[in-house]
Amino acid sequence: MSMIAYYFRLALRSLRRNPVLSALMMVAIGVGIGASITTLTVLKLLSADPLPQKSAVLYYPQLDPRGSASTKSGAANAEPPDQLSYIDAMYLLNAHRADRQAVMAAGNFALRPDPVNGRAVKGFFADARETSADFFAMFDVPFLYGSAWTAADDDARARVAVISKALNDKLFGGGNSIGRTLPAGRGQLRIVGVLRDWRPTPRFYDIESRSSFGDAEQVFVPFLTARELKLGLDGSINCWSNSADIDHLETADCGWLQFWVELDTPAKAHEYLDFIGAYSAEQHAKGRFERAPNVRLRSVMEWLDYKRVVPGDVRLQAWLALGFLAVCLVNTVGLLLAKFLRRAPEIGVRRALGASRRAVFLQFLTEAGLIGLAGGALGLLLALAGLWVVRQQPADYAELAHLDLAMFAATFAAAVVAALIAGALPAWRACQIPPALQLKAN
């Protein structure tokens, strides 16, 4: 232990002797680590599991009702469409073959709220989710007041809504608004639930519409109610037949609905895959599906991976930062080598006085580690600055970019490990210096 303390003192003394060179190495490591941690934090944020406690049991079924592969829409694409048609989604919903299931579409429609405290509130457009009752239980959506609507409400096309905390704050000053009405489009909705803050990141359940990392919706309405009230849709609609009539989406050959199922065991997932395969085969036999069964059942993380939700630029930045760190490390190796070998006479004397090669090696490695610690501290400051810059960016995930504890620790560990790797070669070269030769030369 006392030897370590001794190496520590030697290292400090050595660093002070060449302040410019020492600072240069610390800055190189600090900048490399800072850039890497900043980009990796963003990458980690964007590739995170949005629902860690449940994502493994949630699946996204896909069917392939398109024309045969030789037709225009089929254009040699082996993957089934990303969204389901109304006919298929309603069939899967009513089949109740999963533990839970929900159909959904992105909506956007005008809210014309009643005056708040006698003050008129201007009408505005709100992002909405038009879905079915299981949505809330399936995705563990937390409620502040009230609760989800029921499957009976779905069937009855009940005029009900669940609203976000943000909308509740805006319209009702954060109070318990259960039972209040919300004039939406051409109808009146009765509020049955208010959510707590809820923002799955990325918003895995619908990455087709809007952005994958934005806020969750403000209003949730039963899907059939929204259809009956003709509340506006806001998602993409992809049709695979030229005669598709998107004024009548209930019958059109268009994919526009997302559909999620909860399957609590792998065996159930297997069964469900068989079930949608059998449904496809039956539709194929009837002539409605022109292709042989072509189905997928991806879990949340598989789906996010397949849809490449992490922007290419973010992955590219992370690679770039790691390349940059590599240059900084090579740079530090060179500078440490120069620094250590310049002290050849001193090493010769220490070796002649009985220091073992191991002792010399450890002494220089300690110095490298110390540079790493200082570089890590600098890297941490730079990462904090870098993340601050990221938060000023207009990207919709920007506000979420913060250094967490794991990354904080990783910064230091990475800096010290990087410096030790950079120091190993120079320290090894230094400990090879023979004692006698150096004494003679002096």
With contact defined as beta carbons under 8 Å apart, do 295 and 276 qualify? yes
Interface segment toward other proteins; rule CB under 8 A; list 64-72, 146-154, 265-273, 403-411: 64-72
Amino acid code (one letter) for 184? A
Q: What is the CA radius of gyration of the chain?
A: 31
Q: Is 394 in the site for other proteins (CB under 8 A)?
A: yes
Interface segment toward other proteins; rule CB under 8 A; list 129-137, 272-280, 333-341, 359-367: 333-341
A 10 A CB-CB count for 115 gives 8
- CB nearer to other proteins: give 195 or 418: 418
| Smallest gap from residue 384 Cβ to other proteins (A) | 16
- The C-alpha angle with vertex 302 and arms to 299 and 306, in degrees rounded to 5, equals 135
Q: Is 432 in the site for other proteins (CB under 8 A)?
A: no
Of 340-359, binders to other proteins (CB under 8 A) are: 341-342
- The C-alpha angle with vertex 290 and arms to 287 and 296, in degrees rounded to 5, equals 115
Burial status of residue 223 (CB atoms within 10 A of its CB: 0-12, 13-18, 19 or more): buried
**Token digits for 132?**
């079915």
With contact defined as beta carbons under 8 Å apart, do 11 and 366 qualify? yes
Cα 73–chain centre separation: 32
| Smallest gap from residue 261 Cβ to other proteins (A) | 29
Strands (E), 56-98: 58-62
Interface segment toward other proteins; rule CB under 8 A; list 65-73, 128-136, 213-221, 348-356: 65-73
| Smallest gap from residue 421 Cβ to other proteins (A) | 14
Of 10-39, binders to other proteins (CB under 8 A) are: 21, 24, 28, 31, 35
Give the DSSP per-residue string, 336-402: HHHHHHHTHHHHHHHHHTT--HHHHHHHHHHHHHHHHHHHHHHHHHHHHHHHHHHHHSSSTTGGG--
Side-chain half-sphere CA neighbours of 306 within 13 A: 18
Number of residues binding to other proteins, judged by CB under 8 A: 51
- CB nearer to other proteins: give 232 or 435: 232
**Token digits for 136?**
């809330």
Side-chain half-sphere CA neighbours of 278 within 13 A: 10
Helix axes 2-17, 19-46, angle to 10 degrees: 110
Q: Is 335 in the site for other proteins (CB under 8 A)?
A: yes
- CB nearer to other proteins: give 191 or 249: 249
Of 126-185, binders to other proteins (CB under 8 A) are: none
3-state secondary structure of 65: coil
A 10 A CB-CB count for 234 gives 18
| Smallest gap from residue 204 Cβ to other proteins (A) | 21
Q: Pick the binder of other proteins from 180, 268, 339, 350 (CB under 8 A).
A: 339
Instruction: Convert residues 244-283 into a mask of x (bound to other proteins by CB under 8 A) and - (unbound).
Output: xxxx------------------------------------
- CB nearer to other proteins: give 174 or 323: 323
Interface segment toward other proteins; rule CB under 8 A; list 40-48, 84-92, 295-303, 310-318: 310-318
Binding region for other proteins (CB under 8 A): 21, 24, 28, 31, 35, 70-72, 75, 110, 112, 122-125, 186, 232, 239, 242, 244-247, 312-313, 315-317, 320-321, 323-324, 326-328, 330-331, 333-335, 337-339, 341-342, 393-395, 425, 429, 441
